[in-house]
Structure 1
Amino acid sequence: MAKLNVNPTRMELSNLKRRLVTAKRGHKLLKDKQDELMRKFIELIKRNKELRVEVEKELSGSFKDFLIASAVMSPQMLEEAVAFPNEKINVDITMKNIMSVYVPIMNFKREMRNEDEGSIYPYGYAQTSSELDDAILKLYNIFTKLLELAEVEKSCQLMADEIEKTRRRVNALEYRTIPDLEVTIKYIRMKLDENERSTITRLMKVKDIINK
């Protein structure tokens, strides 16, 4: 706590009182914001953990099938089979405001490259193994979860940054600004009371002199 360098006048006292009211109101609003951000952040962290476990499990299965396919197929045949994907995929990103934090909302935009819109496999079945089919199918099905995981992890990062900024503001108000204002207001009141007592004493002396 430190007294602000201001003149001990009634006008300054009024200004400091208004600043103190504003600081306390701002502290309450920021504290409420911090609590709500923490609540949403914890929800996102839980969702992130669930998604990561699911994604890692399904990716592991897809990689195992792909390794088996690599073992039974020649490298040249495997490369030719997956060289030209049957579908073009882009990511559409929009933003959503959560407690003044703009988090991404990601969605796939899919576009089939050929007329066979019912198939995700960019090859015929004659020279490929069923393990390759399984690997591609599992990877295709996990794309949505992978995108959601990326969305949630980025949201967690942005919200963590905002929580830290809000925490610093709350602490600055709680431990610096508000105590400094209160100390300064108390000091000005004491000075004004002291000046008032001095004025009354002088007036009483002048009155005694006049009476004599």
Structure 2
Amino acid sequence: MARLNVNPNRMELSRLKKNLVVAKRGHKLLKDKQDALIKAFLEKARKVKEQREAVEEELRRCYESFLLARAQTLPAMLEQALMIPGAKCRISVEHRNVMSVVVPEYGIDQEGKALNYGFATTLGSLDVALERFSSIMPKLIELAAEEKAIALMSTEIEKTRRRVNALEHVLIPATIETIKYITMKLEEQERSTLSRIMKIKDIVRSH
């Protein structure tokens, strides 16, 4: 294990011991954060998977209704009916903190009516299709927010994992190794100093 490049003296030894305490505490906090993030991520991922499957099933029914309407309506009439949109959607974005990860929350405000055409030249199947598309919009926006939250949490888990690994496998072992090295050097210096003192005492006594 590589040591840190420091001078082997008591001041550095004291500093490294303090740093080691801080590093171990930080490692524990980051490890706890990582475990909590992974648990929250897995729970959210399961819910979002179910949510996505439900939304995809609704979308399938929407497209089926629209394909039926297109098959039953003349192309020119269908184009004329859909030329001018009757509804507007405004998306608002707020943010909340989930395990130190700032995730978005999208709100949707729908105005107007999806059925913005005369009913004389269109069939009921088109009405059903457009109403279904209109009703699924909030669910699509909510799903987008949840999937964005999952992506952000995944990124944060990866960052935290790298920090935990850096502390666990690099910084803490290197600090421990350096503390042992400095301690050994200081002990050698003490023994050498003690040996010189003893020799000096012997020389003084001999005279």
- The answer for the alignment partner of 1:86 in structure 2 is 86
Q: TM-score, normalised by structure 1?
A: 0.93
Q: TM-score, normalised by structure 2?
A: 0.95
- The answer for the alignment partner of 1:115 in structure 2 is none
Q: Matched residues in 1 for 2:87 and 2:129: separation?
A: 16
- The answer for the alignment partner of 2:23 in structure 1 is 23
Structure 2: where are the runs of 5+ without partners? none
1:160 equivalent to 2:154? Answer yes
- The answer for the alignment partner of 1:52 in structure 2 is 52
Tell me which of 127, 131, 135 is aligned to 1:133: 127
1:97 equivalent to 2:91? Answer no
Q: Matched residues in 2 for 1:80 and 1:94: separation?
A: 37
Runs of 4+ in 1 over 3 A off after TM superposition: none
Structure 1 residue 77 displacement after superposition: 0.8
Tell me which of 189, 201, 206 is aligned to 1:207: 201
Q: Matched residues in 1 for 2:136 and 2:43: separation?
A: 22
List per-residue Cα deviations over 1:128-178 (Å, max 9, x = no partner): 112111111211121111111100111111111111111111100000000
Number of equivalences: 206
Aligned-pair identity (%) = 52
Structure 1: where are the runs of 5+ without partners? 113-118
Q: Matched residues in 1 for 2:77 and 2:194: separation?
A: 105
Amino acid in structure 1 at the alignment position of 2:119: Y
Structure 1 residue 107 displacement after superposition: 0.5
Question: Greater shift after overlay, 183-192 or 122-131?
Answer: 122-131
